[in-house]
Amino acid sequence: MSESTQALLAARGIAKRYGPVVALRSADLTVAPGEIHALLGANGAGKSTLVKILSAVFGADAGTIAVNGAPARLRKPADSVAAGIATVFQDPALIRDLSLEQNLRISNLDVGAVMPWLERMQLDSIDLDLQVRDVPLAMLRLLDLARALAKDPQLLMLDEITAALTTDQTTFVFDLMREWKERGRSVLFITHRLGEVLEMSDRATILRNGTNVAELDLEGVAETELVRAMLGEELAEAATGEDATARTGRTIGNGERPIVLEARDLRLRDKVNGVSFALRAGEILGLTALEGQGQDELFQMLSGDHRPTSGELVVNGKPLTARSPFDAIRQGVVLVPAERQHALLPQRSVRENLSTPLYNRISRWFTLARDEEERVSRAVERLDIDIRAAEQVQRLSGGNQQKVTIGRWLAAGFDTLLCFDPTRGIDIQTKAQIYDLLRELAADGAAVLLYTSELREIPLVCDRVLVMYSGRVVSEQDARTATEEMLLSAAHGLEEAPA
Amino acid sequence: MTATTPSAIAAGSRRPWRRWVRRHGWTTGIWILFLALIAYYSTLIPSFGSFQVASIVNNGSPFVFLAAAQAVIVIAGGIDLGVGSMLVLTSVTAARLMEGQPFAATILIGIGILLAAAVLNSIVGWIITVSQVPDIVVTLGSLYVFQGMALWVLPNPGGGTSEGYRYLFTGSNTGIGANPWPAIAMISIAILAVAWWLGRTRRGLSLYAVGSDTTAAYLSGIRAARVKILSYAVGGSFAALAGLATTAIAGRGNATTFGGNLTLNSVAAIVLGGVALTGGIGSVIAVVPAGLILFFLNPILSAMGVDPNRAQIIQGLLIVIVMMVTGLLEWRRQRRS
């Protein structure tokens, strides 16, 4: 950016603290007109806080914001929109109990202004009378995007927009971003997927511990350089050491280990159409699929949340007919759900959250488990949870919250861990820690079923991998030799390419 | 090839009437229940005619207005325990001010009371948003404050109003007669107006938005605090409308009626009318038959020869059974989809 070009957005010295936790120390961000600018940083670096301040969700403690050279006072979301900034948040800001059309109306938008954008995303046939609660998450994100675009902003801020999208939906979004840039408008792009950053962005601002540590021109920059800038030199090694299995040692001789969980021709209405697999102690079985191929329902059945229409689930050699997760948990089958909110008590402390599963034991004997304290402390230590904000889990960053969801089961004990997309929207450092943890658990003899939508990570953590398509397992491969291309084509239901 | 093709939830993929029934199912169902009860009642007593209809509609109208007041506030995510004593306060104020006044003056006084109640209750809403004290606590306070104010305005039962004013709410100058139409018109106009406002205007929809998800509403550019105060203002004036109707029916005011019972009745009516106590869901149109059912269950049961002392048991069971049936239907729907 040359000196003469005026910045579209210039934020200087933005600071924000929540009680004792400093979310932003002093962050600068400059976005030029007509560029796609990436905002990068590890978990808790302050990205989301900065985005929320720029959208005027809350105010900053210090700092100035200028739009097109003029100082902007952002007090409420409408001010931010008036200044030409529109945001698509990580959680869609749509109201569940209203119809899509009513949602557009309350944000003062004309359906006519949104329609062209829906058309571009091939969503123009969608029925606007549908209630938000009945619309899948991926579609809500696209609708939220269309709603933001219809405000015709100078700066479009996209917070983890691709997290829940399928490959072709992502392509639509990228096309739209490019088009936006060609119009001379700007995009602030926040994502953990570095491949996407390099593919789409012109420049990147990197936050670390609430301060911007670098502003990079992305021409010819490699992923490893970004990682290094995000983590600082010493940590980068751990996160890019590529293979988690290499550090902890991949389990060998799986064939001799006992089968702890076996699914025999599981079916659930038309969603799951006969899934069979065996999960052995000490292995991590990967599972991947495009959105809505029955993986959600499969996990619901495995975790005891939903009874299969037909088929059998065998745990440790005994058939399991779970009426509720309680039964599955007692058999040692535990779930780490994708939505952290479903697993955590947001207003309670880390300690209480970790010991929630222990309540089963407490209530049975009318006495506190004597070793509760010790178990919880061990879990905190092992997970390396940042407990500065320990008195309320909702104050932790997303990555630390996810660690708590896994930590709950560490304290309670289990045989089989079902993980549903545990690294969605989480930074690479925490991601690496979670994968290391899973490998360690497997090495200690636990069985892990890991559903993930991030194909490139399967070879790094898993032993075997299953691919689901339209309610069936269409492919089983050795995770070490599986390539992204092979998995992707299987996930699209294509004939398996000869390996 | 896409996982979630747009056509999967596109227009016409479900039969439209099915969705209409689903969305307005509760409203339709509760109206059918109401009409069925009326029909049953007409077979119970030999002389069923316009006098009985007028009696139900006239005497039931305060319940309907009070239920609508509660519905508006609950839809926006609050709950107002004070509506019952707001009814008493406005009723005795009207009786005291209207005594001996000509028709035109009583109308002006009525309008003034509606506006004053809106202001008074918006102060309650303002206290809730500023202090962040839960609605149920602040309005528990307003319940007693308004009751005390009512006793202060009119310590002993008395007061009065004009004949024309009584006709407006009861179809008769004496409050007793066989003409249900003025009361039906009053209910229809007030309820349809607030239903239209809630469901069709941006401001009205923002009540549903705030009740459903305050954060998402805020991010959509809605000022949640103002919307909450607004819901209390509208609710307050509906409670005042119920108070004005009460004065017209009785022809006088009585501050010794305890508003808390009326409040509980309004909560029962909105629950029966399908308004979710968690906010964001419900229709004021369904609240009309629900309020009337709760009111005329007593005459039905006594016509059936049920001991009046046991009528309350049946009233309570009715609420629970209706909730169970609808819960069951929803569960079946989710299983099917």
Question: Beta partners for A15?
Answer: A62
Percent of chain A whose pLDDT exceeds 90: 20
Question: Going by C-beta distance under 8 Å and a sequence separation of 6 or more, which residues neighbour residue B125?
Answer: B78, B228, B229, B230, B231, B232, B233
> What does the pLDDT average to over A202-217?
87
Cα A250-A255-A261 angle, rounded to 5 deg = 90
- Cα–Cα distances (Å) from B14 to A140, A278, B20, B28, in that order, read 19, 39, 11, 20
CB A132 within 8 A of CB A159: no
Nearest to A121 by CA among A82, A147, A83, A85: A147
Question: Beta partners for A39?
Answer: A190, A205
d(CA A106, CA A119) in angstroms, rounded, equals 21
Burial class (CB in 10 A: 0-12, 13-18, 19+), A488: middle
Report the 10 Å Cβ neighbour count for B144.
14
What is the structure's pLDDT at B10? 43
Residues of A with CB under 8 A from a CB of B: 55, 57, 76-78, 81, 87, 89, 92-98, 102-103, 105-108, 122-123, 125-127, 129-131, 134-136, 138-139, 166, 168-169, 290-293, 492-493
> How do beta strands A155-159 and A9-18 pair?
unpaired
d(CA A126, CA A269) in angstroms, rounded, equals 25
**Which chain B residues are within 8 Å of A129, Cβ to Cβ?**
19
Contact flag B280-A103 (C-beta cutoff 8 Å): no
Report the 10 Å Cβ neighbour count for A196.
17
CB B329 within 8 A of CB B322: no
What is the structure's pLDDT at B4? 41
DSSP A7: P
The CA dihedral of A71, A75, A81, A82, to the nearest 10 degrees, is -60
**Which chain A residues are within 8 Å of B74, Cβ to Cβ?**
none
d(CA B180, CA B170) in angstroms, rounded, equals 7
Question: Going by C-beta distance under 8 Å and a sequence separation of 6 or more, which residues neighbour residue A27?
Answer: A11, A13, A14, A15, A46, A50, A63, A207, A210, A211, A212
To test the contact with chain A by mutation, choose from B5, B9, B277, B335 the residue with the greatest count of A C-beta atoms within 10 A, namely B9
Question: Going by C-beta distance under 8 Å and a sequence separation of 6 or more, which residues neighbour residue A116?
Answer: none
Q: Write out pLDDT tens, residues A142-154.
A: 889 998 999 889 9
pLDDT in tens, chain B (337 residues): 333 444 444 444 456 777 777 778 888 889 999 999 999 988 988 888 888 889 999 999 999 999 999 999 999 999 999 999 999 999 999 999 999 999 999 999 999 999 999 999 999 999 999 999 999 999 999 999 999 999 999 999 999 999 999 999 999 888 888 899 999 999 999 999 999 999 888 899 999 999 998 888 888 888 889 999 999 999 999 999 999 999 999 999 999 999 999 999 999 999 999 998 888 889 999 999 999 998 888 888 888 888 878 888 888 888 888 888 877 877 777 776 5
The CA dihedral of A62, A63, A67, A68, to the nearest 10 degrees, is 160
DSSP A410-424: HHH--SEEEEESTTT
The distance of B169 to chain A (nearest Cα, Å) reads 35
Question: Beta partners for B6?
Answer: none
Question: Going by C-beta distance under 8 Å and a sequence separation of 6 or more, which residues neighbour residue A301?
Answer: A266, A268, A272, A307, A308, A313
Secondary structure in 3-state letters for A314-327: EECCEECCCCCHHH
To test the contact with chain B by mutation, choose from A75, A95, A109 the residue with the greatest count of B C-beta atoms within 10 A, namely A95
Question: Beta partners for A16?
Answer: A24
- The sign of the torsion formed by the CA atoms of B237, B243, B248, B252 equals negative
To test the contact with chain A by mutation, choose from B22, B24, B206, B220 the residue with the greatest count of A C-beta atoms within 10 A, namely B220
d(CA A53, CA A9) in angstroms, rounded, equals 13
